[in-house]
């Protein structure tokens, strides 16, 4: 079998490899992917450092052309790359193709941004002096990504890093190297100079750690768990390095008595269970007022009955497998915890067998949960949702905000007054009205607050805040 190698200084390198296993069919090896070392990571950082002076001064047209070419190729290959994504991560084929399209759109967006780089010229408070405010690239950016969006998250970090003139060392999650390899290959062939983008696949404790320990990495953008995020923060402070963290969530969706029942059920089913609940923006807490509670539970469980859990590539599958055995154990452990805590298992909770051996779990709904239970406070990152009954809007809002996290927060209501109040008072980076808490646009800021995020927002124009550093220049006329 071919070994998909690391890209270091423009050369494909590496002979040690790890198997990438399909969670829908554990007999299938998606491919063999290089298992990089700390030495490989140091070499990649050195290559990125050497490439930085020329790339940071490269013309904006060159950057535009390369990013656009990459976006176009990803779009042209969306079905093939989507299938690869579904095979390595387990989201359904339509979800995987949708994510691939989004990756392409992100490259197109930043191809455009490269042509719109600008600064400000303003008068000084002192006569005969001009002031210019410009943005410089940071230098070498370390990119560390999680397994749940194997093509979109790498895209939304690599595209702005390159657009603003930085060079990159990219470490994808070990579980999902295939899409990362594919987009690095596409960018390499699109004409990136040697060393501008380096790929080091391998273990977080080896490759990721070597990035954290290097004084030559000027910025680290990280998406993943809260625990690893804290390590990134501590190591970055040590090196006085800029860092950006996107971490977990325990996103609430409030359903009020006046909600349109169909809209509320669709939003809850989508954001609670699609993508196997493995989205940082998933609604893992449904907070439902008394008047609609019983109707909503009945309608949601009826909807869950109709959802098909099966092989991600199979037509008609709504929910693919859990990503791996470790995550499956986390999910089933939390299902036991929920039962012991006294929540009522209203739907699911069982492992399922399918034609192909995989990590299949029923969508699982706990009712009669309280916001104090561990299943309502800790991120599970699977298709397991707590439903909490509350008296009224005021209690719903207080419950929604009573969490260590603050990524996305949703409300289903037909009341303008409550929707407006919720948008103002939800303690979250993103607020959704009559929409799933998951599912965002690619051209606007993404991120959270409290324990979910740290540092500037990602995506859209706001990405410049992280990937550049502001310079103020004074000139005597
Ligand atoms: P992890 O924190 O385990 O891993 C994230 C990345 O960090 C992986 O590439 C991992 O490598 C790497 N890593 C692990 N240890 C180290 C280390 N010591 N030094 C440097 N890097 C390291 O998270 P998961 O991959 O399990 O992702 C799931 C989590 O991500 C969930 O908590 C979820 O909420 C969060 N997430 C947040 C999003 C957001 O935007 N807020 C979006 C998507 C996910 P490896 O896996 O190879 O060991």
147 and 274 belong to one structural domain: no
The confidence score (pLDDT) of residue 366 equals 98
Q: Residues 93, 142: contact at Cβ < 8 Å?
A: no
The residue from 246, 266, 379, 458 that is catalytic is 246
**Range of 316's domain?**
251-433
According to the model, what pLDDT value does residue 465 have? Answer: 97
Name which residue sits closest to atom 42 of ligand 1, judged by CA: 280
What is the average pLDDT score of the chain? 97
Do 171 and 280 reside in the same domain of the chain?
no
Other C-beta atoms closer than 10 Å to the C-beta of 425 total 13
Give the tens place of pLDDT for each residue, 282-323. Answer: 999 999 999 999 999 999 999 999 999 999 999 999 999 999
Give the closest residue to 359 by CA, choosing from 311, 398, 400, 324: 324
When pLDDT is cut at 50, 70 and 90, the band that residue 443 belongs to is: very high
Give the model's pLDDT for residue 49. Answer: 98
pLDDT score for 109: 98
CA atoms within 13 A on the CB side of 182: 26
Percent of the chain whose pLDDT exceeds 90: 99
> Vertex 21, ends 16 and 25: CA angle to 5°?
155
Residues 234, 308 share a domain: no
Of 45, 458, 381, the C-alpha closest to 223 is 458
pLDDT at 207: 98
- Distance of CA 59 from the midpoint of ligand 1 (Å): 34
Write the residue with the smallest CA distance to atom 34 of ligand 1: 248
Q: What is the mean pLDDT of residues 337-341?
A: 98
- 229 C-alpha to ligand 1 centroid (Å): 8
pTM for this one? 0.97
Indicate whether 224 and 274 sit together in one domain. Answer: no
At residue 428 the predicted structure's pLDDT band, cuts being 50, 70 and 90, is very high
Q: What is the 3-state secondary structure (H, E, C) of 131-160?
A: EEEEEEECCEEEEECCCCCCCHHHHHHHHH
pLDDT at 444 over 90: yes
Q: What CATH number should be reported for the domain holding residue 25?
A: 3.40.605.10
Q: Are residues 210 and 68 in the same domain?
A: yes
Answer yes or no: 280 catalytic. yes
222 & 75 share domain = yes
**Would you say 159 and 443 are in contact if contact means Cβ atoms under 8 Å apart?**
no
Which pLDDT value is given to residue 477?
82
Query: Could you tell me the CATH number of the domain that includes residue 282?
Result: 3.40.309.10
- Give the total number of structural domains in the chain: 2
pLDDT average, residue stretch 110-117: 97
Beta carbons of 119 and 82 less than 8 angstroms apart? no
pLDDT score, position 15: 80
Same domain, 207 and 298: no
- In this structure, the answer to whether residues 412 and 446 fall within a common structural domain is no
pLDDT in tens, 232-270: 999 999 999 999 999 999 999 999 999 999 999 999 999
Q: In this structure, are residues 15 and 3 in contact, taking their beta carbons and an 8 Å threshold? A: yes
108 flagged as catalytic: no
pLDDT at 14: 84
Mean pLDDT of 212-234: 97
Q: What confidence score (pLDDT) does residue 101 get?
A: 98
Same domain, 206 and 223: yes
Residues 133 and 273 in one domain: no
What percent of the chain is modeled with pLDDT above 70?
100
What whole-number distance in Å separates Cα of residue 52 and Cα of residue 170? 15
Q: How confident is the model over 150-198, as pLDDT tens digits?
A: 999 999 999 999 999 999 999 999 999 999 999 999 999 999 999 999 9
- Which residue is closest in CA terms to ligand 1's atom 21? 208
């Amino acid at each position: 079998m071919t070994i998909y190698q690391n890209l270091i200084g423009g050369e494909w390198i590496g002979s040690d490899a790890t198997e990438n296993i399909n969670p829908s069919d554990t007999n299938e090896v998606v491919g063999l992917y290089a298992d990089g070392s700390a030495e490989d990571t140091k070499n990649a950082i050195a290559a990125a450092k050497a490439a930085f002076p020329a790339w940071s001064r490269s013309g904006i047209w060159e950057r535009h052309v390369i990013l656009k070419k990459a976006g176009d190729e990803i779009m042209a290959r969306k079905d093939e790359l989507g299938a690869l994504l579904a095979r390595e991560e387990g989201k359904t084929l339509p979800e995987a193709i949708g994510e691939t399209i989004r990756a392409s759109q992100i490259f197109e967006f930043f191809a455009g941004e490269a042509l719109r780089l600008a600064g400000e010229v303003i008068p000084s408070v002192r006569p005969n002096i001009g002031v210019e405010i410009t943005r410089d690239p940071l230098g070498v950016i370390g990119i560390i990504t999680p397994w749940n969006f194997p093509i979109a998250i790498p895209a939304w970090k690599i595209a702005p890093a390159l657009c603003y003139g930085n060079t990159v060392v990219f470490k994808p999650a070990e579980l999902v190297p295939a899409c990362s390899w594919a987009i690095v290959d596409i960018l390499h062939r699109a004409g990136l100079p040697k060393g501008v983008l380096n790929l080091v696949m391998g273990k977080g404790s080896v490759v990721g750690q070597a990035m954290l320990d290097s004084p030559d990495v000027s910025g680290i953008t990280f998406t993943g768990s809260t625990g690893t995020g804290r390590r990134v923060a501590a190591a970055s402070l040590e090196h006085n390095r800029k860092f950006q963290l996107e971490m977990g969530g325990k996103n609430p969706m409030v359903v009020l008595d006046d909600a349109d029942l169909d809209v509320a059920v669709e939003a809850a089913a989508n954001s609670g269970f699609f993508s196997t609940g493995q989205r940082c923006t998933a609604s893992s807490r449904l907070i439902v007022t008394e008047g609609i509670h019983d109707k909503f539970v009945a309608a949601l469980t009826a909807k869950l009955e109709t959802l098909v859990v099966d092989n991600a590539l199979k037509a008609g599958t709504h929910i693919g497998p859990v990503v791996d055995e470790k995550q499956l154990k986390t999910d089933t452990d939390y299902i036991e915890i929920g039962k012991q805590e006294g929540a009522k298992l209203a739907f699911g909770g069982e492992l399922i067998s399918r034609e192909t051996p995989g990590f299949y779990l029923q969508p699982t709904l706990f009712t009669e949960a309280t916001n104090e239970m561990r299943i309502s406070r800790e991120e599970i990152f699977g298709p397991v949702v707590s439903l909490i009954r509350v008296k009224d809007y005021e209690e719903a809002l207080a419950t929604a905000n009573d969490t260590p996290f603050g990524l996305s927060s949703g409300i289903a209501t037909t009341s303008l007054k409550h929707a407006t109040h919720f948008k103002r008072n939800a303690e979250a980076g993103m607020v959704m009205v009559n929409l799933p808490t998951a599912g965002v646009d690619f051209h606007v800021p993404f991120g959270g607050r409290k324990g979910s995020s740290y540092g500037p927002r990602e995506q859209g124009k706001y990405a410049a805040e992280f990937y550049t550093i502001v310079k103020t220049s004074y000139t005597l006329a």
